[in-house]
Amino acid sequence: MPITAYSGGTSLEGQFRSSPVGGICIDMGGMNKILEIHEEDSDLVCQPGAGWMDINDTLKEKGLQLFFPLDPAPSATIGGMLSNGCSGTNAVRYGTAKAEWFLNATVVLPSGEVIKTRRRARKSSAGFDTTKLFIGAEGTLGIVTEVTIRLAPLLPTTVAVVHFPDVRKAAAAVREILNRGVGIECVELVDNEFMRATNLVHAPAPPRYPELDSLFFKLQGPTPASLAETARIVKEVVSKPEYGGSGWKLAKNDEEAADIWMDRKNAHYAGLALLPGARGWATDVCVPISKLPDLVYETKKDIKDSGLTSHIVGHVGDGNFHALLLFRDDAELAVVRDVVHRMVERAIALDGTCTGEHGVGMGKKEYLYEELGEGTVELMKAIKRTIDPLNLFNPGKLYPEEKDSKHPRP
């Protein structure tokens, strides 16, 4: 009997919750306890249904200056984040789920055996990293029942926003800023359409932002002096004539910082304001960062030529962006599918990936042979067959069938 476990939502929520071949769906959402907090070790043991925002709220309530820095969608849970290999706006500073935030996982294998991948030390060279096998496996190799996560010090932050003549100049400024090594927790690229959508959300108030390609920064530093120095350096860089940043706005206090950052976080709902009655399809390609401007330009041209409405939000420090493509009916949905297909092909041709952080699920299986090559996909499938020979766990996800492949094997 096929078994699909899920707990709360990541971006893949819908995909995790449904099984294309029927069978049992196990809701792990009730296993949402924090089991141990080790303040002195900056780690925490919890169940898979615990939400990252709830964990961070709990740490705050206890007065601990620690937080879990992976920040996907607000409803995401630790089990889903692990299984998805998630990231988010903080990845430019803290890396993704595939870094070292998951110290170990307790996993029920398809055989019924329960294993714990590692102990609680921060580092280990005791063999290859079995924790990582389950990160990004989308529940196909095991059901996660307990996780030890590493925490980071919670630092003072502030927020700034600045506007650019175009995406290329914004991306170039980001590169210089990151290479300066100042305290950047997040740097988010948004396009003119995003700004238009955000102004619509705030209407009938006067437009909050110029409708230009822009960057939202979350700056961090251990002291007010270092935070002020970071802001000064970032402002200095973006204002260079070669980048042409304008309208620099630094939050005056925590309330204003939260207010500005909320505009960025509200991207999905703001986007829907661009086309009343529409639904949105969020894309997720990722490329080497030098390729990002070309990809954004070609994609925006394709979107325009296709007659679609869209905005773009990008984790520009990682080369990952999301276009929100709007559609109102099946005809427009078909156009969206074509645009997405071309975008993925374009990203792969630029040495990129079909999914920077949202996962494969069912929708992107068809691209894996092209992106990773036959040998790498067959390696994944061989490991899947070894661990789950009866194909019990979350069948139909992640691993492309040969029939789906553009490069069918003989």
Distance CA 148, CA 118 (A): 10
Per-residue CA distances from 77 to 6, 101, 355 (Å): 9, 14, 19
Contact in structure between 361 and 138 (CB atoms under 8 Å): yes
Contact in structure between 354 and 332 (CB atoms under 8 Å): no
Nearest distance, CB of residue 300 and its own copies, angstroms: 20
Closest to its own copies by CB, 98 or 196: 98
Figure out which of the listed residues 213, 318, 332, 388 binds its own copies, where binding follows CB under 8 A.
318
Per-residue CA distances from 111 to 17, 141, 143 (Å): 22, 10, 11
Closest to its own copies by CB, 100 or 211: 100
* Segment contacting its own copies by CB under 8 A, of 195-203, 260-268, 269-277, 344-352: 344-352
Closest to its own copies by CB, 25 or 178: 178
* Segment contacting its own copies by CB under 8 A, of 55-63, 256-264, 330-338, 367-375: 367-375
Contact in structure between 51 and 75 (CB atoms under 8 Å): yes
Closest to its own copies by CB, 199 or 365: 365
**Residue 226 interacts with its own copies (CB under 8 A): yes or no:** yes
**Residue 270 interacts with its own copies (CB under 8 A): yes or no:** no
Look up residue 288 and give its amino acid: P
Closest to its own copies by CB, 114 or 203: 114
The DSSP secondary structure of 226-256, one letter per residue, reads: HHHHHHHHHHHHHTSTTT--EEEEE-SSHHH
Distance CA 200, CA 194 (A): 10
Closest to its own copies by CB, 22 or 288: 288
Dihedral pair phi/psi, residue 326, rounded to 5°: -95, 145
Q: Which of residues 14-73 bind its own copies (CB under 8 A)?
A: 38, 40-43, 65-66
Closest to its own copies by CB, 29 or 314: 314
Q: Which of residues 75-104 bind its own copies (CB under 8 A)?
A: 84-87, 91, 95-96, 98-100
Burial string for 382-393 (b: 16+ CB within 10 Å, else e) reads eebeebbeeebb
Distance CA 324, CA 313 (A): 8
Nearest distance, CB of residue 130 and its own copies, angstroms: 6
Nearest distance, CB of residue 367 and its own copies, angstroms: 8
Nearest distance, CB of residue 184 and its own copies, angstroms: 11
Figure out which of the listed residues 356, 363, 395, 396 binds its own copies, where binding follows CB under 8 A.
356
**Residue 373 interacts with its own copies (CB under 8 A): yes or no:** yes
Per-residue CA distances from 365 to 9, 156, 274, 355 (Å): 20, 41, 30, 11
Q: Which of residues 101-130 bind its own copies (CB under 8 A)?
A: 109, 113-130
* Segment contacting its own copies by CB under 8 A, of 132-140, 240-248, 260-268, 324-332: 132-140
Closest to its own copies by CB, 16 or 327: 16
Contact in structure between 242 and 169 (CB atoms under 8 Å): yes
Nearest distance, CB of residue 288 and its own copies, angstroms: 4
Nearest distance, CB of residue 274 and its own copies, angstroms: 27
332, 366, 328, 372: which is closest to 352 by C-alpha?
372
Q: Which of residues 280-309 bind its own copies (CB under 8 A)?
A: 284, 286-290
Query: In 3-state terms, what secondary structure has residue 6?
Result: strand
Q: Tell me the chain's radius of gyration from C-alpha atoms.
A: 22
For β-strands 279-282 and 24-27, DSSP reports them as unpaired
**Residue 388 interacts with its own copies (CB under 8 A): yes or no:** no
**Residue 205 interacts with its own copies (CB under 8 A): yes or no:** no
**Residue 251 interacts with its own copies (CB under 8 A): yes or no:** no
How many chain residues bind its own copies (CB under 8 A)? 99
